[in-house]
Every structure is written in structure tokens, then in C-alpha cells.
């Protein structure tokens, strides 16, 4: 997945950071919200990497995006200090992961 692999290797004002685990945690958390689980994923890591406010945002963006408000977007990065472009990138990961989950269910239903 191209969106998931995109990175500037930054996190807020920190440079040369490997955010692979964080991006993967977002991806697999979205899939878990859609009912897709993987044997190779340690879901306890997701709880460690994604603070409650961030998980809350991911939940709403995945399950009820029509209810999102600007304060959801603005408040979930308090401890991490994500830049606006990083937050947008996470939104793209969330939407792409949701799309993939829905696509898998659609393919399964026609098979």
C-alpha cells in the first residue's frame, strides 16, 4: 500500500524517525474496527502506540466519518505534536485501510 509507506521520517519537530510501527498500528487498528484481525499482529502494541485521543479519532473516522468535527482533528495529537501534514497523512492511511477492508468484504460476498 503506497499511502501506508509514505513518510518524511519525521514526527512533529523530530527528524529521522522511523514511523513504520506507528503507521502500521493505525492500519491494523482500522482493520480491527472493521472486524479483520491478523495472527502476526501484536494488538497490545497498538494500545501502546496510539493514545486514547488518537484511537478515538480513528474510531470516529472509520466507523462514523459523517460525525467528525474539527475539534476531533485538532485534539488528538496533544502529546505527539504532529504537524498538519502528518495528521492529513494519518487521515489518508485511515481512509485507505477502511477502503481495503470494505473491498475485502465486497469481494468475499460475491465469491
Q: What is the pLDDT of residues 64-87, one digit of tens each?
A: 999 988 888 877 765 567 888 888
Q: What is the structure's pLDDT at 24?
A: 95
Q: Determine the Cα–Cα distance for residues 19 and 23; give it in Å rounded to an integer.
A: 6
> What is 48-96 written as a DSSP string?
HHS-HHHHHHHHHHHH-GGG--HHHHHHTTTTT---HHHHHHHHHHHHH
Q: What is the structure's pLDDT at 6?
A: 80
Alpha carbon 89 to its chain centroid, in Å, reads 9
Q: Which residues is 10 bridged to in the sheet?
A: 15
Any idea how long the chain is? Answer: 111
Amino acid at each position: 500500500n503506497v499511502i501506508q509507506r509514505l513518510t518524511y521520517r519525521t514526527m512533529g519537530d523530530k527528524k529521522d524517525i522511523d514511523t513504520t510501527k506507528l503507521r502500521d498500528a493505525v492500519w491494523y487498528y482500522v482493520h480491527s474496527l472493521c472486524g479483520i484481525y491478523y495472527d502476526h499482529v501484536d494488538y497490545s502494541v497498538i494500545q501502546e502506540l496510539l493514545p486514547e485521543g488518537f484511537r478515538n479519532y480513528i474510531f470516529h473516522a472509520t466507523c462514523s466519518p459523517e460525525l467528525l468535527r474539527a475539534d476531533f482533528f485538532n485534539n488528538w495529537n496533544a502529546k505527539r505534536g504532529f504537524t498538519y501534514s502528518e495528521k492529513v497523512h494519518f487521515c489518508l492511511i485511515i481512509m485507505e485501510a477502511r477502503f481495503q477492508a470494505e473491498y475485502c468484504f465486497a469481494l468475499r460476498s460475491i465469491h
